[in-house]
């Protein structure tokens, strides 16, 4: 089984759109272990629509759009991290975290702890807006300090060549490409935009 983890420097930065494109490009299955917030379409539903690939059911579906530990507490439960073992599937698997690395699953465990336990390749999605150098560098440091294998960084948003190059050079990390905002987002426009992503490097890491 080839598994790749997609995480981000923050929430709402295009991580799910990238995950959908990656799932389609790899012909993979997709798994979002914990979904917080059920008012709109879930990330799994978005990925299924944009990728056309199989989606595994979430282990936890939590009502409140908040950090998973708070959303779980709002429902009177606590997330059991032992239930978040990687599913055994045939072929590639794309796993998407929630928000950033230091999002709490419980009051004792972060998503980063889960990634460190899994020991699977990680792709970091980073926005190109102001503040991204700080957020991306801190996220890469956290991943490496936890012993997580980092494939590289995918940038999300309008081009910022000087900013992107600063991150790549100072963090000594691979630039996997950039996805600009896609106004008419659908399966075809995403596949077309995904041609800018370095799939050869990603496949070699699996």
Tell me how far apart the alpha carbons of residues 146 and 24 are, in angstroms, rounded to a whole number.
29
Residue 153 has pLDDT above 80, yes or no: yes
Residue 6 has pLDDT above 90, yes or no: yes
Q: What is the pTM of this model?
A: 0.96
Q: What is the CATH number of the domain that holds 33?
A: 3.40.50.300
Q: What range does the domain containing 94 cover?
A: 3-205
- Catalytically active residues, by annotation: 32
What is the per-residue pLDDT across 18-64, written as a single tens digit (0 to 9) for each?
Answer: 999 999 999 999 999 999 998 888 999 999 999 999 999 999 999 99
Instruction: Give the chain's domain count.
Output: 1
Question: Which of 165, 168, 175 shows the shortest CA–CA distance to 198?
Answer: 175
Mean pLDDT confidence for 87-109: 95
Residues in the chain: 206
């Amino acid at each position: 089984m080839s598994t790749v983890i997609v995480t981000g420097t923050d929430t709402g930065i295009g991580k799910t759109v990238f995950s959908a494109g990656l799932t389609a490009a790899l012909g993979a299955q997709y798994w979002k272990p914990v979904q917080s917030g059920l008012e709109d379409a879930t990330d799994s539903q978005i990925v299924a629509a944009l990728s056309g690939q199989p989606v595994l059911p979430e282990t936890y579906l939590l009502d409140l759009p908040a950090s998973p530990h708070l959303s779980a507490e709002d429902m009177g439960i606590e997330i059991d991290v032992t239930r978040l073992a990687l599913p055994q599937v045939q072929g590639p698997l794309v796993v998407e975290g929630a928000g950033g690395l230091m999002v709490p699953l419980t009051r004792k465990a972060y998503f980063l702890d889960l990634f460190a336990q899994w020991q699977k390749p990680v792709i970091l999605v980073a926005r190109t807006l102001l503040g991204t150098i700080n957020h991306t560098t801190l996220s890469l440091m956290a991943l490496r300090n936890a012993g997580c294998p980092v494939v590289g960084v995918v940038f999300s948003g309008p081009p910022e060549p000087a900013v992107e190059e600063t991150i790549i050079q100072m963090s000594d990390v691979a630039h996997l490409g950039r996805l600009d905002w896609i106004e008419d987002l659908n399966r075809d426009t995403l596949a077309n935009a995904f041609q800018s992503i370095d799939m050869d490097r990603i496949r070699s890491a699996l």
